[in-house]
Amino acid sequence: MFPWRVSPHDSSNFFVSAFRESRASWSTFCVLWTILFTSWDHRTRSVMHHHDQTPNPHMQHCLQACAACAQICDRCADDMIGMEGGSHKELQDLCIRLCIDCADLCALSTRWMSRLSPSTELLCRACAELCDRCASVCEQHSPHHPLCGDCAVECRRCAAACRDMAAAMA
C-alpha cells in the first residue's frame, strides 16, 4: 500500500525508535499510522471557514471541551495515584488508566484540531468513545473519590462536543 515499509526493529526511523522507547505498543503505532495515512484527503471540509482557515464555532467548542477534559482527567488520575484502593482497588486502577488515556487523547485532539488536520474527524470519533468510557468508570468510582464526579461530567461534555465536531466534518 505504501512505497516504504516500517519495521518495529528499524532503529534508523525516528518515529519507530521514539515509540519503542515510549510506553506505547507497536500495535498502537501501527493503528495511528494507518489512521493518519488512510484517511488523508485533500477535499475542503465544510467545518472550516474557507477565507481565513480559522476554526468555526463547532471546532472552537470542541477545542475548549477537549482542553478542559484533558486537564481534569490528569488531575483526577494524579489525585488517585497512591490512594488506598481497599475493596474498590480494581475499579480505582481502571479509573486511573482511563483518565490518563482520556487526557492523552483529548490533548492529541486539540493539537490535531489546532493545526486543521484532515484526520480530525476520525480522532474526534475515537475521543468521544474514550470519553464516554472514562465517564462511565468515573461515575462508578465517584463514591470513593469526589473528583471522579466532576471528571465524569467533563468527559460527557467533551464526548458530546467531539461527536458534534465529527458530525460537522462528515
Q: Which domains does the chain have, with CATH numbers?
A: 56-78+90-170 (1.20.1270.360)
Q: What is the pLDDT of residues 20-68, one digit of tens each?
A: 444 445 455 544 545 554 444 433 344 444 445 566 888 999 999 999 9
Q: In the numeric block, which cell numbers belong to residue 83?
A: 490512594
Amino acid at 65: A
Contacts of 93 by beta carbon, 8 Å cutoff, 6+ apart: 85
- pLDDT score, position 28: 52
pTM for this prediction: 0.69
